[in-house]
Every structure is written in C-alpha cells, then in structure tokens.
Amino acid sequence: MSDRFKAIHMKEQPAEERKKNFLEVPCGYTEEEAVLEANRCLQCKNAPCIEGCPVSIDIRSFIGHIQKREFDKAVNKIYEADILPCVTGRVCPQESQCQAKCVLNNKGDAVSIGSLERYVADRDLERRREALKGEPVKISGKTKVAVIGSGPAGIACAADLGKYGYDVTIFEAFHKAGGVLVYGIPEFRLPKDIVDVEIRSLVQTGVKLVTNVLTGRSFTIDELMAEGYKAVFVGSGAGLPQFMKLPGENLNNVYSANEFLTRVNLMKAHRYPEYDTPVKYGKNCAVIGGGNVALDVARTALRLGSENVYLIYRRTQEEMPARLEEVRHALEEGIQLLALTNPVAYHGDEAGFLQKIECVKMELGEPDESGRRRPVLVEGSNFFIEADVCVVSIGSTPNPLIAMTSPLIETTKWGTIKVDEKGMTTMPGVFAGGDIVTGAATVITAMGAGRTAAASMHEYLQNKKD
C-alpha cells in the first residue's frame, strides 16, 4: 500500500558508484511507480501547482492522464506549454516552483511533479527518435526570421516561429547547438543524447541551424536585417564569467565554472585523451560558490578523479541557491562543504600553479535586499586550504558584444538588454529573452521568455503587413 503523504522517489545510482561515472543519477520511474505517484495527486480544482510553474504547464491535467495511464495525452498536454519536458523534468527547481505550491505539503511530501514530467517525456523519446528517421519538413514560409543562440530561449522561440510558418534560422556561436544544455549542464544531470534529440527534432521541423557564427563579429544585427530577416530574437545567454578580483586569481589551474564545464561537457575532456581537450581537476579541487553551477563543477571534479572536492560558500547550507536534490546528491557523494568561508587570495608555486587558497571565516549578520542574512567577515580568521585546482563559480554578467555592435539596442546598468512587456528591445523588430535579459536564471524561465517573444514577433510581423 502506498501512503498518500509519502512521495515515491526515483531509484538512484548509489553514491559510491555514481561518483566514478558520468551516468545519470536518478534512474527514472517504472510505469507502476509513475501511476502510484500520480495517484497521490488530489486533482485540486484550483490547481495551485500551475501558478508555481513559470510557463503554466497544465499540471493537473497531465497528472490526471497518468492516473488513467494515458501517457501520450499526458505528454501532449505538457508540450502545449513546454517543448523540452525531458530537460525541464530534470533541471527545474521544482521544490521552489510547482511542487512548493502542492497542497500535500501541509501533510507530507508534495507530488513529484518533476519526476512525473520526466517519466512521460522519456517515454515519448522512442517515438521521437523514430520520427527523426523521416525526411525533414520543408518550410514554406517566405518571411525570414533569425534566432541568435540555440539555448533554451532560442530553441523555444524558434520552435514556435516555425509553427507560425516562418522561415527560421538559428545562429549559434559554438560548433554544437544547445547552449547551456550542451556546454553547461553535465551529462550526469542531463544526458547529451537527449539534447541531441531536441536539436535534431527542431531541425526536422524545418528550422535552419547555422553554427560557428558569433553575432556582433561574424555579422551584426543590422546586417541581418539588411539581408532580409524581418525580425530577430536575441537569446545569447549570460556570457562573461565573473571573478572576484582577488590576488593570484590568474594563476594556472584557477578556472571559471564556464571554462571548466565547457572543457568537459562540450569538449569532452573527461574522455581525454580520446578527445584532445584536457582539463585539470587536481588532487584537491576547490569550488567557490553555492549555486547549481558550483555543484555541477564540484560533482564533475569528483567524477574526473579529484580526491578531495571542497565547496567554499560564504553563507550556510540553508542559503545555498542550488536545487535541493543537487545539494543532497553532492553531499552523499562526498563533496566537502566549507560553509561560512570566503577566499581572499590565491597562492602559487614558482611556475605559477595554484598551491593553496587563503580564506577567511564569515558569520551571518543582518538580512540583505535578498532577504538572506548577509555574510560578514570574521576579522583575523585567515587560514589556508591546500588546493591545486580552483573553479570560481559565482555567476556571470551579460556578454556585451551584441549590444556593443547594435547601437539601437539599449542595455540596463547591469548590462542586460532592455525589453518591453512583449519582449521587444529598443530596436524595432529585435526581441530578446532568457539570461541576456534577466541575468543568470533557469532553463524554464528562458524557455518561457523565448515563447513570449515568438508570439510577440508574430504579432509584430502581422501588424507590419497590414
């Protein structure tokens, strides 16, 4: 008998095993598990979970379909709002979104909406892989539109524009499409063959994909417009990695999270020397930060072979912005959390390689603007951590290239692109969404912004015709 108030958790690879491989940690539901978990859902009339979803997936209906074992109907219900459920089922912070609103929280565990989403989406993968064997659709639309960036925002925007009947081209700067899904999120959280299916499915629908072009250098937005693109969506992502301007930060083996993860996820450094790109992980690897990216880095280092992986975070575990599941997984795997700790300097050997990190202890003071208690330095608490590799994972600032080369596009003081409520920038016909507008956020919000912009672009182009 199942307990209505106790969630059924997906089976997971044991920590001792998984920390030595790059395979996914949760193994997914069986059909019986999915139906049992779905049956815990009360099908609330007002469905508060939907309010918690940034793209308003009709959660109640899709779970209702699972209760009746109507799995195709369930996944199609999700597709109405979210074209990447395989991805979002895995990477959304459900505990602070849909699941946070579940009424079962009052008595026990929320319905595992994310796991159910993943179950029906994965179930549909076989059909989608089969469909990829067919001929790609030829788009009949004559109006050309451009999408810059092939991450979650760009994929969602391009997919909708294709459905509206436009001749859509995605321009991607890397040699492989997918944006953060490819270079950022590790294999053990999001298998790359799933991303591959998503991209190939999009191309199958007739969307054109051009890789290796950096907008702002290969061409400007003005040039795109001059070449006949009637509207442009900019979804170029968060961009420049932040550093802390500390002494010794440019020593060898001090990385940004973006570089470390790109070397592994995009360039496959974990399969060096089969792949040519190396990465240093060290005997003792320190990671600075407390978000999902920091945890991705820490767990990647562990899997590469670091003996000790330290997560240096200036607040406490409670304030860590990462998904709860990732924090739990990381701690189970043996990541050593050094909370209330902040780096102040890096020290290296004579050849310029990192040897140790000078840190200070912090304590929590008064709450700041974010409502979290502000970490305050404990004077004279300096100490050293032996580390031969350090990865700084404290976020990124927007890449200025597109705004720099498009004088009509205005930016905010934080460097993000200004848009109106419809997602249009200050340059007519140019829309933007995702991290380039909001600063670093989540896959689902970027996807939502891409869809909003696609609808606005359609409206804009229709009005223009009249």
Partner 1 sequence: MMYKIIEKYSLAPQIEYARIKAPMISKNAEPGQFLIVVACEKSERIPLTIADFDREEESVSIVFQKMGKGTHKIADFKAGDSFHAVLGPQGNPTEIEGEKHIVMIGGGIGVAPVYPIARKFHENGVHVTSIIGYRGKDFLFWDDKLKAVSDEMIITTNDGSVGHKGFVTDVLKQMIEDKKPIDRVIAIGPPIMMKAVADVTRPHGIATTVSLNSLMVCGMGMCGACRVTVGGETKFTCMDGPEFDAHKVDFEELMQRLGMYKSEEKDMLDEYQGEDNE
Instruction: Kindly state whether residue 214 participates in binding partner 1, applying the rule CB under 8 A.
Output: yes
- Choice from 212, 382, 412, 462 touching partner 1 (CB under 8 A): 212
| Nearer to partner 1 among residue 100 and residue 240 (C-beta) | 240
The window from 38-46, 79-87, 320-328, 394-402 that contacts partner 1 (CB under 8 A) reads 394-402
Least separation in angstroms between residue 177's CB and partner 1 is 12
| Nearer to partner 1 among residue 79 and residue 353 (C-beta) | 353
Which residue type, as a one-letter code, is found at position 1?
M
Kindly give the residue spans of alpha helices, DSSP state H, lying in 215-318: 221-226, 257-261, 292-304
Tokens of 288: 């600075």
The site for partner 1, by CB under 8 A, has a size of: 45
Name which of residues 353 to 372 contact partner 1 (CB under 8 A): 353
Q: Specify the pairing of strand 336-338 against strand 308-312.
A: parallel
Distance CA 211, CA 300 (A): 27
Specify the DSSP element, H or E, that contains 170: strand 167-171
- Choice from 265, 399, 406, 416 touching partner 1 (CB under 8 A): 399
Q: How many CB atoms lie within 10 A of CB 28?
A: 16
Sign of the C-alpha dihedral, residues 251, 254, 259, 264? positive
| Nearer to partner 1 among residue 29 and residue 281 (C-beta) | 281
The window from 57-65, 192-200, 252-260, 433-441 that contacts partner 1 (CB under 8 A) reads 252-260
Instruction: Kindly state whether residue 237 participates in binding partner 1, applying the rule CB under 8 A.
Output: yes
DSSP at 406? -
- Choice from 115, 262, 284, 406 touching partner 1 (CB under 8 A): 262
φ, ψ (nearest 5 deg) of residue 182 = -100, -45
- Choice from 32, 126, 130, 274 touching partner 1 (CB under 8 A): 274
φ, ψ (nearest 5 deg) of residue 187 = -50, -40
| Nearer to partner 1 among residue 110 and residue 402 (C-beta) | 402
Instruction: Kindly state whether residue 218 participates in binding partner 1, applying the rule CB under 8 A.
Output: yes
Least separation in angstroms between residue 154's CB and partner 1 is 15
Tokens of 193: 């063959």
The secondary structure of 317-370 as a DSSP string is GGG--S-HHHHHHHHHHT-EEE-SEEEEEEEE-TTSBEEEEEEEEEEEEEE-TT
Instruction: Kindly state whether residue 247 participates in binding partner 1, applying the rule CB under 8 A.
Output: no
Least separation in angstroms between residue 39's CB and partner 1 is 45
The window from 68-76, 98-106, 237-245, 335-343 that contacts partner 1 (CB under 8 A) reads 237-245
**Short-list 151, 198, 193, CA closest to 173:** 151
User: How many residues are present in the chain?
Assistant: 466
**Short-list 122, 115, 101, CA closest to 44:** 101
Least separation in angstroms between residue 197's CB and partner 1 is 19
313 to 352: interface string for partner 1, x by CB under 8 A: --------------------------------------xx
Measured in whole angstroms, the distance separating CA 134 from the mean position of its chain's CA atoms is 30
Q: Under 8 Å CB-to-CB from 143, ≥6 apart: which residues?
A: 166, 167, 230, 461
| Nearer to partner 1 among residue 89 and residue 239 (C-beta) | 239
| Nearer to partner 1 among residue 118 and residue 263 (C-beta) | 263
Name which of residues 127 to 186 contact partner 1 (CB under 8 A): 173-175
Instruction: Kindly state whether residue 283 participates in binding partner 1, applying the rule CB under 8 A.
Output: no
Least separation in angstroms between residue 228's CB and partner 1 is 16
Which residue type, as a one-letter code, is found at position 359?
C
φ, ψ (nearest 5 deg) of residue 443 = -60, -45
| Nearer to partner 1 among residue 136 and residue 352 (C-beta) | 352
Instruction: Kindly state whether residue 219 participates in binding partner 1, applying the rule CB under 8 A.
Output: yes
Contact by Cβ (8 Å): 143, 167: yes
The contact set with partner 1 (CB under 8 A) reads 173-175, 210-214, 217-219, 237, 239-241, 243, 245, 249-253, 255-256, 258-259, 262-263, 267-268, 272-278, 280, 351-353, 396, 399-401
